[in-house]
A and B are shown apart, each in its own frame.
Chain A
C-alpha cells in the first residue's frame, strides 16, 4: 500500500505538471489569437492581388504561354512541401501531416514517379531524417511567427525547382485552421499555378481606356510568382494557427486529466491518513486495555 509520503509526493508532482500544462495552454491561446489576426490581415492583400491577376489575364491573351501556368505531362517528379511545427506537445498536429506525406510518397512511388521532399518545421525535419528521407531543402524557426519574407524565399526556391525543370509539380501539405479544436489536413497543388485561380473565362475585357505600365502581359507575368508567395504564406499562417490551436487543446486535455488525477490522489491520501489515525487510536486503546 502506498504510504502517505508517497501519495504526497505524487500529488506535488502532478500539481507541478498541471501548472506547466496550464501555462502552456494560456501561451498557446495568446499566440493563437495573434496567428488568427494575421490570417485576417492577409485577406485584403490576397484578394486584391488575385483580383488584379484575373483582370490582367483577361487582357493578356493566351495564358497557357506563361511558364508558371504550364501543366506538364507526364509529371515524373513531384515536389512535396511538408509543413510541421518546430515544437511538439501539440496533439496529433505534426503526426497527421507526416502520415499524409508518407502516404503521398508511397502512392507516387507505386505510380512510378519520384518525390522530392521539402520540409518546414523542426519536427517534420527530424522525423523525415529518422525515416531516412532525403530532404531537398528545409526551413525551421519560422513556425512561431512566419514572415512574408520567409514565404517569399520558400516560394522562390519552389519556383526555381519548377522552372529549371527539376520537378514537374509542387504540392504543399499543411494543417488548415478551422477552429482551435479542429484542423483539416490540406494537400494542394501550388505550382503550376492552378489556371482557374487566376483566370476567369466568363469575364470579358473591361471597356474603357485603361493604361498599363508596362503592358498587361508583362505585369501578369511579374505578378504570377506573387500567387505562389501568397499560397505559401497563407499555408504558413494556417499551419501556425493550427499548431497553436492543437497545442491549446492538447494542453487543456492534459490539465483536465491532471485535475482528475489530483482528485483521485487526494481521496487516496485522505483515506490513508484516516486509516493511519484509526490504526493509532486502536493501538492506544489496545495498549490501555493491556495495562488495565
Chain B
C-alpha cells in the first residue's frame, strides 16, 4: 500500500542515522556528561554552584556537568523515589540517609590512588563518621556542622550574669538560664534540646539508647545515665527558663533551631550551629560561642555532622564522576563555596582561610569542632531516626509537656522499653544495625 514506500524510506534513514551515530561515537570527541543534584542554601548558593561547575569544566574539557539545583524540602522524597524506581538517580548527590548507602559507589581505592586528595586532608572525625560505612569510603564529607551554645552578650550584660565558660555543667546551664529569664519581655534564658541522646545525654554519661549489637534497649533507654539525663531535662522544663516547643518550632524542620528568637534578643542562650552563627553575625548580634555543658569527669561530646557527597553506584561514568566529586567536595570546590557562599569547609587547610577567621565566635567554633562526636553511632545507624526515636518519643513528650513528676522519670522510661524493643526488633533485621 501507500505506506510501504514511507516505511522503506524510514528504515533507510534510520540506518543512515545509526551509521552516523556510530561514526560520531568512534571519534570519542564528545564530552561525557555527568548529572549532579545539589541544594541551594546560604552556605552553598546558586552562584557558587555555577562557579564550581564552570571551574571544573574549564579544568576538564572532556566532562560536562549537568547540574540540578533543588529546594531542600522535597529532596529526600525525590531521592527515595528515584532509588525506589531503580532509575533516574543522579551520578553525584548528597546521600544523607543511611539506608541509601548501599547504593553508593565504593571510592576507597580511587581515593587512595588520588595524588591530589587524601582522607587525611579532612577533619578526621568528620571523615570517619560521615564518609566511611562498614569500612568502605562511600563519599566525601562536604562542609562541617556542629551544635554549640550561642549566648547573647547583651542579654547577659543586662541581667548582670557572667558569660558561660567551656567547663560549665548542665545544671549550671539551668541556673544561668533561670537568671536570664524575664517573662515581661517574653525573654527566656535558654532553649531545650531538640532530641534525646545528643551531646548533653552523652556528657551526662548516657551513651546509646540501645546496646552496641543493636539487640536490646533494656538498660540503655532506661539505664541510670539515661534517667539522669532525662531528669536533667525535667529540671530544665520545670525551671520555666525555656520556651515551649510551641515557641521554638517555627517550622518544625529538623536542624532549624530557634535562631530567629535568638536574633530577636528573646533567648539568652540557644543551642545552634555554625549556619546559624553566620546568620546571627550578619544580623549584627553581639554573641559568643561555648561548647554544650558537660560533666567534669566525663569525656566531652559534640553533636556534629557533615553532608555526605557520594557517587551513585549505578553511574555509567564512575571515573568522571569521581573526578567531579573530588573537585566539588575537595579543596577547590569547598573553597569556592566558602568564598561565594558562607560554607565552612571540612578541610582544615581551607577552613583556615575563612574570611571571618579572626572573629571571636569563629575561634569558639574551632574549639567545638575537635570534641568527640555523638555521631559515631547516630550517623550510620539506620534504625535510630526512623524507628526507635519514634517509639520512645512519648517519654520525651511527657517531660516536655510537664505531664509527669520528677520521680516518675524512671517509670516513664521503663515503659518505653517495650515499644522501643519492638521497634528495634522490627527495624534491625530489615535495615541492619
Are A and B co-members of a single complex? no
Residues of A at under 8 Å CB distance from B? none
Residues of B at under 8 Å CB distance from A? none
